[in-house]
Amino acid sequence: MVSRVIPVDEFDLVIFGATGDLANRKILPGLYRRVLAGQIPQGSQIIGAARSDMDAEAFRAQVRGAIEEHVNPAKIVPESVAEFLAMLDYVVIDAKGEGGWDDLKAKVRPDVINAFYFSVAPSLFGDLAERLHKRGIAGPDARIVVEKPFGRDLTSAKALNKALADHFDETQIYRIDHYLGKETVQNLMAVRFANILFEPLWNAQYVDHVQITVAETVGVGGRGSYYDKSGAMRDMVQNHMMQLLCLIAMEPPYHFDPDAVRDEKLKVIRALQSVAPNDMVRGQYLAKGDEPGYLADSEDPESKTESYIALKCHIANWRWTGTPFYLRTGKRLRARTSEIAITFKEPPHSIFDEAEGDWRENVLVIRLQPNEGMNLKMMIKEPGPGGMRLVQVPLDMSFAEALGEEADITDAYERLIMDVIRGNQTLFMRGDEVEAAWAWTDPIIEGWEARGDRPQPYDSGTSGPDDALMLMHRDGRRWREIRE
Ligand code: BG6
């Protein structure tokens, strides 16, 4: 297969918060990998901007360290590292004051693509936007990249949207949800809209239910103070899982175009019904061996924040009324695995006697990570003589095996940053989408806060609280096993 990567033009990318964790772990190593892939045009500049008092040389040394720590050693090629480091520059900046802005203006070239990545606390978004605009550093073609958390409720999300909209047009704003940068998440759209096979069955008439699972083995240690104010609902459901749900449930957009795709996602969010208290289960992990439990990780021994949540959701529209979407996500679970499973209904009539086999539903599983791929569980005849006996087998496709080298599962961040430079907003959340997601999330959170609900404890290394099993059992269904 010939690579058909869309080239990008020369650019200046400014990273605010360039000394922070995200920049060192994801953004800068990701950009290095794009240099290695030959995708960053010569002459482009990557300008770190942060409070730390250092010069460009010291910043380059920091970035070299980040590459050594976060890039696969097999991909560390000295010439490419040198090429990347030569693109770097650094400005000491005071986000709330005046210091450094003239220096920055002198470095950013107005005649190439300009992008500004706000890898900083959301409370600084407004200050940065105002200074970039008023000082004429970011013009009408500049791109502004922001990260989650994009608010912690509808009111704060609206305030952030306004802080950006006061200075920039929506077409300039790129809100990252890194799940949308994952290869398999984009593959959801390819599978749905580039094949005729699934669409006729993709509705409540044929789909019994959908399960979306994002399970993690890590706890929240090290980021307890952020997480404790957030919890699984704000940290994962309002954004990443909502995006997955939208891509599964949305109508075909008329074109793979930013607003066409986002319009359809927005309709799904707006059609989501509120979740009744008995349709959700919240949990908190317990200590295991030397590993602390949630209450120790969060540093609040009384915390009621959930590290696990399972929800049964309904989408009230013509396509999906009658098909529940079960969502679950949690920390310190049995395995790190993310998948979407679409379980189809039984055929209307069976021509085979029950004695002749063990009929099971067709299930389409899309594995997001690890081992990205798809698996369609089908009934076939059990081999051998002795009559017609049925057995379920998987039609299994691992993208790595099917595509070999081409499977190159590029990190979500580097893919998204390249889309920013290309000016393609398809994989970024629009302001109204984020607000609609909070409008759905807020009353659910307010409900459990008003009731004073405590999350149920669960053992680390399991599949979460027992009541989450009941959420499906009482509907005569069961969760898929959490395993790698
Ligand atoms: C982040 C959350 O957005 O996504 C983390 O804040 C979570 O809590 C992470 O661990 C999961 O991302 P991934 O790509 O590892 O599935």
Q: Is 107 annotated as a binding residue?
A: no
Inter-residue contact 165 to 431 (CB < 8 Å)? yes
> Which atom of ligand 1 is closest in space to residue 148's alpha carbon?
3
Q: Best of 175, 185, 225, 235 to mutate for ligand 1, by most ligand atoms within 8 A of CB? A: 235
Calculate how far, in angstroms, residue 240's C-alpha sits from the geometric centre of ligand 1. 8
CA distances from 233 to 161, 229, 274, 339 (A): 21, 11, 14, 18
How far is the C-alpha of 7 from the C-alpha of 261, rounded, in Å?
Answer: 23
Pairing of strands 45-50, 11-16: parallel
For ligand 1, atom 10: residue with the closest CA = 216
Whole-number Å distance between alpha carbons of 233 and 453: 14
Q: Which residue do the tokens 């310190």 mark?
A: 332
Which residue has its alpha carbon closest to ligand 1 atom 5? 235
With CA atoms as reference, report the closest residue to 317 among 266, 254, 277: 266
Catalytic residue among 133, 167, 209, 240: 240
Is 178 labelled a binding residue? yes
Do 56 and 85 meet the contact criterion of CB atoms below 8 Å apart? no
Residues with CB under 6 A from ligand 1: 216, 235, 338
Look up 240 and say whether it is catalytic: yes
Compute the distance from residue 471 Cα to the ligand 1 centre, in Å.
25
What integer best gives the mean pLDDT of the chain?
A: 94
Q: Flag whether 170 is marked binding.
A: no
Find the 65 Cα to ligand 1 centroid distance in Å: 23
Contacts of 118 by beta carbon, 8 Å cutoff, 6+ apart: 16, 17, 124, 125, 128, 144, 145, 146, 147
Mutate to test the pocket of ligand 1, among 240, 297, 333, 414 (most ligand atoms within 8 A of CB): 240
**pLDDT digits (tens), the chain, 484 positions:** 445 567 789 999 999 999 999 999 999 999 999 999 999 999 999 999 999 999 999 999 999 999 999 999 999 999 999 999 999 999 999 999 999 999 999 999 999 999 999 999 999 999 999 999 999 999 999 999 999 899 999 999 999 999 999 999 999 999 999 999 988 888 899 999 999 999 999 999 999 999 999 999 999 988 888 899 999 999 999 999 999 999 999 999 999 999 999 999 999 999 999 999 999 999 999 999 999 999 999 989 999 999 999 999 999 999 999 999 999 999 999 999 999 999 999 988 888 876 666 778 999 999 998 888 999 999 988 888 878 888 899 999 888 887 775 555 578 899 999 999 999 999 999 999 999 999 999 999 999 999 999 999 999 999 999 999 999 999 999 999 998 7
Dihedrals phi, psi of 149, to nearest 5 degrees:
-75, 125
Q: Which ligand 1 atom sits closest to the C-alpha of 216?
A: 10
Complete edge-to-edge strand list for the sheet that includes strand 113-118: 88-92, 45-50, 11-16, 113-118, 143-146, 173-175
The Å distance, Cα 148 to ligand 1 centre, comes to 11
Which residue has its alpha carbon closest to ligand 1 atom 8? 235
Closest ligand 1 atom to Cα of 412: 14
Residue pair 329/236 in contact by the 8 Å Cβ criterion: yes
Tokens at 82, concatenated: 């040198």
Which ligand 1 atom is the nearest neighbour of the CA of 369?
16
Ligand 1, atom 13, residue with closest C-alpha: 179
CB 44 within 8 A of CB 11: yes
Confidence (pTM): 0.94
From the CA of 50, how far away is ligand 1's center (Å)? Answer: 24
